[in-house]
Amino acid sequence: MDNLRPLSTTQGVLYGADGSARFHMGSTSVLVSVNGPQSQGLGMRDEQEDRAILDISHIPISGTAGVADKHMEECIRTTFESAILLGYHPRTMIQVIAQTIKDDGGLLAASINATTMALMDAGIPMTAIVAAVTCMVEKETGAILVDQTAESLERAKSIHTFAISSARGNSPDPNVLLLHSLGLFTESELSHCQEAAVGATDAIFAFMRKAVSKKIEKGHQQDGDMQED
Amino acid sequence: MQVSFSAPRAAPPVTVHHGDMDMDTDQTHIVTPGESITSDMQYMRGHGTRLDESSDPPILTSTLAGHVSRVNKLVSVKPLKARYTGDIGDIVVGRIVDVGQKRWKVDIGSKGDAVLQLSSINLPGGVQRRKLESDEKQMRTFFAEGDVLVAEVQSFFADGVCNLHTRSLNFCKLRNGSFVVVPPRLIQRTRSHFHSLPCGVDVILGLNGYVWVSKTVRKGGRHNETKVGLDEDAVDAEMVYSNKNEASAINKDERLAVARVCNCIAALAHEFKYINDTIIVYAYEASLAYPDVQDLLKLNVMEHITREAYEQMKNA
């Protein structure tokens, strides 16, 4: 997909965490660490008997998390609750910490993409991978634009962030896990945005799969031939 | 402070597979969550796989990012790294995180903390001794928070929590050394996990990926092979729960040897090689080309000693 800003990602960037990843969409960049499934700390008693709980923290560039960050945490949590197989690890917690490195538009989408990469790195079972992208409808022209910079988002009539699961089954419709919209828009504008988002997330899926395969192939080559001895 | 930079390495070429794969070839298949493995229903679903019933016909999909392994009809996906899942009889190295009523909680790097019960340790005064109320009150004198120990997985509770025991002379509190963490996948199950290396260093390879590297202790402790019977228990028990390093101070050379072995293990883990006593010895020998132990933290040196050790391993 040519409309996307350049993507780049690195897995396993943090040594202390079970899984971690950095994800760049253009100059927007997020670093995510995943710990778990693990037992919760002492005194924390909101564990669930039949599933793992997701504990998400979204940390801004400076200062403490505000309302916007709390809102993003909630968006990320609901998105991944439907993608992670939480029932596999009852009475545990999966902790996700997303640190904003730079926000140049589409921060929520970058956080979701980084979380997907970090969860894969941590070996957390999921039904599918999740990719997200921000679309906007331009005020002047009414054009649908994908993955824009903060400067360009200023000119938007409405902004929509889609998180889409790679598992579609046999249904022709995309499996949208999250839709986060700002501004005024019509139904047809939204459906056009969704079409654009589906195209963009397909490109992101391909990118993620390639990045992960590269890492696993390398690791597997290194220990694989030793196993034969 | 000395700072050094090394150039990045080129990544090996990659082939990506998609869709229904041919299960009969020996090729490595790499899958990501949600990717289909096969629609052939004759296969059994192993770890890391899931039957996607929403599609028609149902397909076997992966839930992890890893490579597909097939043993006869059992298909599973093995991730590069995952948390340790215990098995009964595993030797693990762990750290005490909490002292409770009649039990300790031990971090063994698995999903939840493991439990070590007061009734599953050897107390001073011999194996046959009964546990008294006074023992319960002085549990911290046996193991306190932060202590590192080696134990065996005895059983699992109904909720999957791991139950450890240290009722053998091999299992004890660990002293005189350093702690290294490697991915659990790199430690293979072997006959023994306690190794005495020729360089005067002992290594305990916990199956949970926790490794203890220490100076070889000759007097008392678990290395005393000559004494047998009850006498040994009595002597050991006093020693086992001591919080002090060996009486004769560990000298600089011994410390350096321990640090060198630690760095060798870290280098092998960094290069993602299986870790066993033989390859550690080879890596140690290769590392002697670098007199400064801190040199072993450099990426190119790590790569060099790992490659050398690996070549030796293949020729042996």
ipTM of the complex: 0.82
> What is the rounded average pLDDT of the residues B105-111?
88
> What is the rounded average pLDDT of the residues B109-117?
87
Q: How large a percentage of chain A has pLDDT more than 90?
A: 69
pLDDT tier at B236 (50, 70, 90 boundaries)? low
pLDDT of residue A12: 87
Report the distance separating Cα A99 and Cα B23, nearest Å.
Answer: 41
Element spanning A113, H or E: helix A107-122
> B43 in a domain, yes or no?
yes
> What is the rounded average pLDDT of the residues A64-84?
94
> B105 in a domain, yes or no?
yes
Q: Contact A213/B98, CB-based, under 8 Å? A: no
Quick one: B171 and B223 in the same domain?
Answer: yes
CATH code where residue B45 lies = 2.40.50.100
CATH code where residue B221 lies = 2.40.50.140
pLDDT: which is higher, A165 or B132? A165
Per the structure, the complete domain to which residue B44 belongs is given by 30-79
Quick one: B289 and B175 in the same domain?
Answer: no
Closest CA to B95 of B110, B83, B107: B107
pLDDT: which is higher, A157 or B110? A157
Out of B11, B32, B82, name the one closest to residue A129 (CB): B32
Q: Contact A123/B186, CB-based, under 8 Å? A: no
Distance of residue B199 Cα from the nearest chain A Cα, in angstroms: 25
Q: At what angle do helices B299-315 and B252-270 cross, to 10 degrees?
A: 80
Residue B52 with chain A: CB contacts under 8 Å: 127, 167, 169
pLDDT of residue A227: 45
Quick one: B113 and B234 in the same domain?
Answer: yes
Mean pLDDT, chain B, whole residue set: 83
Distance of residue B148 Cα from the nearest chain A Cα, in angstroms: 18
> What is the rounded average pLDDT of the residues B172-179?
89
Quick one: B194 and B282 in the same domain?
Answer: no
Residue B227, pLDDT above cutoff 60: no
> A53: helix, coil or strand?
strand
Residues 6+ apart with CB under 8 A from B159: A90, A91
Interface of B with A (CB under 8 A): 11-12, 14-16, 28, 30, 32-35, 48, 50, 52, 54-56, 61, 63-67, 79-83, 98, 111-113, 159, 185-186, 271-274, 310, 313-314
Q: Contact B65/A121, CB-based, under 8 Å? A: yes
Q: Contact A126/B56, CB-based, under 8 Å? A: no
Closest CA to A99 of A80, A114, A85, A117: A114
Domains and CATH numbers, chain A: 7-228 (3.30.230.70)
Q: What is this structure's pTM?
A: 0.75
Quick one: B234 and B260 in the same domain?
Answer: no
pLDDT digits (tens, 9 = 90+) for B12-35: 554 544 555 555 555 678 889 988
> B15 in a domain, yes or no?
no
Residue A199, pLDDT above cutoff 60: yes
Residue B113 with chain A: CB contacts under 8 Å: 39
pLDDT of residue B9: 66
Q: What DSSP assignment string belongs to B175-218?
A: -SEEEEE--GGGBPP-S-SEEEETTTEEEEE-TTSEEEEEEPP-
Domain count, chain B: 3
Quick one: B205 and B265 in the same domain?
Answer: no
